[in-house]
Structure 1
Amino acid sequence: MKILLLEDDALLGESLQEYLEIEGYEVELVTLGEEVFDRTFETRYDLYIFDINVPDINGLEVFRELVEAEDRTPVIYISALTDIQTITRSFNLGAIDYLKKPFDPEELLLRIRHHLRPSETPRPEVLLRYGDLSFEPTTGKVTLDEEGESLYLGEIQGKILGMLLQRQGQLVPTEELLEVLERPNLNALRVMMAKLKKKLGIDITNVRAQGYLLEKI
């Protein structure tokens, strides 16, 4: 993770840089507001840590110009300014945190980890296929052909289709299918199957008194 640190106090800046690098972060230190623009033009960062009272352009104005340039990199402020107006302005600009000097470097590290902890990688969507047809169980989306024609099934139709697709070539017992229906009865199940056959153009076989079968392709 790359961090750009704007801090004009050389001793504090170098100490924070060394501490965060020991913790596994890549940190670039600048002391002037103008330097931020030069660095961000060349490099993409994961986080900005800005002091406010720095030479030439203060940290708030630097952030404001970055926001106007559509830079969405998160910012944590570290500052000796404790007045509510400055703190309010920083959050109004979009800062994710504000740490008042003096502070323990470990507190800064905890806040970085809190705000930038990796989000859980979403599980890839499971696709059930049947010839050119593909089905996404979690969304109910059915893609019917290679050209991408698609439609969406309701929750009950989706559950029934999923059961049939997962057991292609196998009999799905009537009792299991009835459990999916809000008001289980054989007529309602027959109607549901007829709708699926017509809507999707697939051949679902009714094995009398036993269940339904989707022939394996």
Structure 2
Amino acid sequence: MNKKLKILLLEDDTILAQTMVQILEQENYDVTLVGDGEEVMEYTYENKYDLYLFDVNVPLLDGMETLRLLREAEDTTPTFFITAKIDIKSTLKGFDYGCDDYIKKPFEIDELLARIQATLKRRNPVIKYGNITFDLLESRVLKDDVEVSLGSVEKEIFSLLIRNIGMTVNKSTFFDYMNKPSEPALRVLISKLKKVLDVNISNIKGIGYKLEKL
């Protein structure tokens, strides 16, 4: 997996949290750790994540109430509850609030990773654009069913474009994924994508770029 998928981890057990962050980062996930539900609300206001892992019993705003508020705000990000105690009433309540799965403590890390990948694969479908196919989870770009050799940054840039077909992506958003961001460097990346993939990417002067609708 080349593309780093973003996970927001809500866990106030310091030792468990650090262990989970280390393991998830080894699996190439980009993990943000927070310790209470109010922090979740702050981070999700400014950032978009691919998955939420929420401990239920945390300070200030518990995991379930946090998810309820996110769902009310039309945040559909897949969410796992992590909890030491799973009873029928709590389980039904969690699913009613919109969680996708439960992980019971203590858990096997292989099981967690398998469930994460299965859930993300369902939520990150293959996107087709003419003769181009982009598998977002595996970060594979194919042209006429043949895999195209692109660098990791080039794939990130194209991922932003293909997930926003017909919409302008701001230059600053591209810069977040570049090692040495600059407008000339971005122009070079866009130029290569246009040449290698033979796609119509428009330069919206002073703002950014967009992949035109077919």
TM bin, normalised by shorter chain, reads 0.5 to 0.7
Greater RCO (CA < 8 Å, at least 6 residues apart): 2
Match of 2:85 in 1: 81
Instruction: Choose from 7, 19, 26 the match for 1:22.
Output: 26
Gap regions ≥5 residues in structure 1: 126-217
Match of 2:37 in 1: 33
DSSP 3-state at the match of 2:127: coil
Match of 2:72 in 1: 68
Residue 116 in 1 paired to residue 120 in 2? yes
Match of 2:147 in 1: none
Tell me the number of residue pairs that the alignment of Structure 1 and Structure 2 aligns: 126
- Counterpart-to-counterpart distance in 2, 1:70 and 1:119: 20
Which is further off, 44-53 or 85-94? 85-94
RMSD: 1.6
Match of 1:47 in 2: 51
Amino acid of the residue matched to residue 12 of structure 2? Answer: D
TM-score norm. by structure 2 comes to 0.56
TM-aligned CA deviation for residue 124 of structure 1: 3.1
TM-aligned CA deviation for residue 9 of structure 1: 0.4
- Counterpart-to-counterpart distance in 2, 1:120 and 1:35: 32
Amino acid of the residue matched to residue 124 of structure 1? Answer: G
- Alpha-carbon contact 2:68-2:98 (below 8 Å) kept: no
Match of 2:8 in 1: 4
TM-aligned CA deviation for residue 123 of structure 1: 6.3
- Who wins on radius of gyration, i.e. which is larger? 1
- Alpha-carbon contact 2:78-2:119 (below 8 Å) kept: no
Residue 56 in 1 paired to residue 60 in 2? yes
- Counterpart-to-counterpart distance in 1, 2:98 and 2:126: 24
Amino acid of the residue matched to residue 97 of structure 2? Answer: L
The aligned runs of 1:92-171 (5 Å cut-off) are 92-117=96-121, 118-122=124-128, 124=130
1:25-82 Cα shifts (integer Å, max 9, x gaps): 0000111111001111111111100000001111000000111111111101111121
